[in-house]
Amino acid sequence: MKATLATITVLVLALSWTSEAVRVEENGLSFSLEAVMRLQELTESSGAGQQSPRLKASTGSLCADPMLPQEFLPLCRLRGASASLSRLAMVPMDVCDICAFAACTGC
Task: Supply the DSSP symbol for 23.
Answer: E
| pLDDT tens column, 43-98 | 887 654 344 444 445 666 789 889 999 999 999 999 888 889 988 988 887 777 66
**Buried-state track 77-105, b at ≥16 Cβ within 10 A, e below 16:** eeeebbebbbebbebeeeebeebeeebbe
pTM comes to 0.66
Segments in the chain forming alpha helices (H): 2-21, 33-46, 59-64, 73-76, 81-89, 93-96
Question: Which residue has better confidence, 103 or 53?
Answer: 103
Nearest to 84 by CA among 101, 67, 59, 48: 59
